[in-house]
Structure 1
Amino acid sequence: MEAVYWIIISILFVVAFVGLVYPIIPSVLFLLAGFLLYGVFFSFQPFSWLFWLIQGLFVVLLFAADYVANLIGIKKYGGSKAGVWGSTIGIIAGPFVIPIFGILIGPFIGAIVAELIVNKRSLSESVKVGVGSVIGFISSVITKTIIQVIMIGYFFMVIL
């Protein structure tokens, strides 16, 4: 039965990583569910208040990394709050509208459209902002991948 428990926990961790490229999947909830299920299946004894504090700080970092990377990517290329919002909407809607490639095309188009409509920017300026949104998204995924690997690594360090 122990193998089944580990398979369930592993699946939760894998889904958390899938959530990095499909933002509709709440990665952090799947990570935390894996930690909690370990406690339910095996024992909560290894999880001290320090474990939960550190994991909580990593959760804050995950959310901050997402927002900051997108903001920096867009601002660096001259975008505005409208570009950030357009990109965010594109990240969420893109994969549904254009499966597979929508995760990159969505924020790109979202930022462009927002800059064109809200700020009345030229197409070339808006495209630069769109490029910045994609760079921000990719930076965010890389950063969040590192943070999630650290979170899972710390989890295994504590339980082993």
Structure 2
Amino acid sequence: MIIAAWIIVIVLFIIGMVGAVYPVLPGAVAIYAAYFVYGWMIGFEPFGFWFWLTQTTILVVLLIADYAVSALGVKKFGGTKASVIGSTIGLILGPFVIPIAGLLIGPFLGAVIGELIIGTEWKQALRAGVGALVGFFSSVVVKLLLQALMIILFFVWVLQN
């Protein structure tokens, strides 16, 4: 049972880290779920109030930062709400329409199309698209760092007890 638990925990950690880049995977939620798998299959003893407070805070920050960092990238390049919405739609749909390349093309085209729909000129719409890419890459870096921190803290807590 312990080996099965560790396999599931590690798989959830991997899914979580891949989800930092590939938005259709649950990301930080998968990492958070791994704690419950560990608890149910091995034991909740290592986890106390401070563990849950720390991990939940990181999870909430990640969920908010994921959208905020991407939106900030678009706004920094002069994009409007339309390009933020377009880039978000493109980020979700892009990987399904064009696997892998859709991760980059989707947010870019989504932002550009969002801007063009509201009547923005081409040059500014393209700037918003670049901003969507900058925001996406920035968001990925933030997610990778914070999710790695979640995993490291898990091992610190488990190995301490």
TM bucket by the smaller chain?
A: over 0.9
Q: CA deviation at 1:72?
A: 1.2
Q: Normalising by structure 2, what TM-score?
A: 0.95
* C-alpha distance in 2 between matches for 1:88 and 1:27: 16
| 1:138 alignment counterpart | 137
- State the AA in 1 paired with 2:151: I
| 1:127 alignment counterpart | 126
- State the AA in 1 paired with 2:133: V
* C-alpha distance in 1 between matches for 2:55 and 2:5: 21
Are 2:3 and 1:11 aligned? no
- State the AA in 1 paired with 2:158: I
* C-alpha distance in 2 between matches for 1:56 and 1:33: 11
Considering only aligned residues, what root-mean-square deviation do their CA atoms show, in Å?
1.0
| 1:70 alignment counterpart | 70
Q: CA deviation at 1:155?
A: 0.7
- State the AA in 1 paired with 2:115: E
* 8 Å contact from structure 2 (residues 29, 59) kept in 1: no
Aligned length: 159
Instruction: List structure 1 segments (4+ residues) > 6 angstroms apart after TM superposition.
Output: none
* C-alpha distance in 2 between matches for 1:75 and 1:65: 15
| 2:149 alignment counterpart | 150
Instruction: Name stretches of at least 5 consecutive residues in structure 1 with no aligned partner.
Output: none
Q: CA deviation at 1:26?
A: 1.5
Q: CA deviation at 1:2?
A: 2.7
- State the AA in 1 paired with 2:34: G
| 1:22 alignment counterpart | 22
- State the AA in 2 paired with 1:144: K
| 2:105 alignment counterpart | 105
SS at 2:3 equivalent: helix
* C-alpha distance in 1 between matches for 2:42 and 2:104: 40
- State the AA in 2 paired with 1:76: K
Q: String of CA shifts for 1:66-119, please: whole Å, max 9, x gaps.
A: 11211111011100011100000000000001111001100000000000012x
Which is worse superposed, 26-35 or 108-117?
A: 26-35
* C-alpha distance in 1 between matches for 2:95 and 2:20: 12
Q: Normalising by structure 1, what TM-score?
A: 0.96
* C-alpha distance in 2 between matches for 1:159 and 1:14: 18
Q: Among the aligned pairs, what percent are the same residue?
A: 47
SS at 2:100 equivalent: coil
